Structure 1
């Protein structure tokens, strides 16, 4: 009984992914939605990016919600610490070190200078990642549309579907 329910759930997920990739949205809309999600997810929003996702999904019907929310899987909280470290390093490279701050001594007075470096670096990284993710997502969805890439089969296979994957739904 549980296996049947799980199988039904996987079939619904597969059908929804297929519909999302081929019928409801163009490859450009899907890639743009994923890219927008990557941009928002990479910013230091302290979790409010998910609220932005909900507002954007509600306000614009041409946003592929599945693609936009998939960016959260890619840039999850574990990965974001690395993004923040890289962002601060990039910001420090561009703006120079924070005056009067060393790795062993940081004061609250240096907060605005540190946040400025973090945000500058983060905006640059988010723009680069959004551009790269647009190209990658567009190519993947276009390949799926041509049936050269079994994205739905790969996704449902990765989550444990033991049944045969059929992309012809």
Structure 2
């Protein structure tokens, strides 16, 4: 059951990305849109990230809406819980553990310290995801379009003879 879900998830991500690759936007615009979407989606925006997507799409023609959508597919709500756990762990590594708090002794008074660690770790992870996402999508778009170009060049032109 799990391998089937993973295959379906992979296929959905691939399909969304390939549709984004076929847009009229430049490879840089597609990759930058995906990277911006990943950054916004990776942050704990509590749903307001979608409003930021709408705002970005409204103020700039260079934003590839499909690439923004693809970022949401990649960092979907189920995946974000893992990102948050990794963010808190990384925040603890950077800022140190919350003083006097163990897993069994978490209280509301420790809230600001816990949130600070979550946000610091999450910001670092979001930046890493953004840089990696831009590089990967740029390479994928270029390779995808190069393949399309080679296919088009191999076809004979109608009426050329």
Q: Bin the TM-score by the shorter chain.
A: 0.7 to 0.9
CA distance in 1, matches of 2:52, 2:91: 25
Q: Please state if 1:33 is matched with 2:33.
A: yes
* Corresponding residue of 1:96: 96
* Corresponding residue of 1:87: 87
Secondary structure of residue in 1 paired with 2:133: helix
Secondary structure of residue in 1 paired with 2:79: helix
5+ residue gaps, structure 1, are 1-12, 149-169
* Corresponding residue of 2:155: none
Q: Please state if 1:71 is matched with 2:64.
A: no
Equivalences for residues 16-165 of structure 1 within 5 A: 17=19, 20-22=20-22, 24-147=24-147
5+ residue gaps, structure 2, are 1-14, 149-161
Q: What TM-score do the two structures reach when normalised by structure 1?
A: 0.75
- The change in CA–CA distance for 1:118 and 1:141 in structure 2 (over 3 A counts) is same
Q: What is the aligned-residue RMSD (CA, Å)?
A: 2.0
| 1:22 shift after superposition | 4.6
Aligned residues: 134
Q: Per residue, is there more helix in 1 or in 2?
A: 2
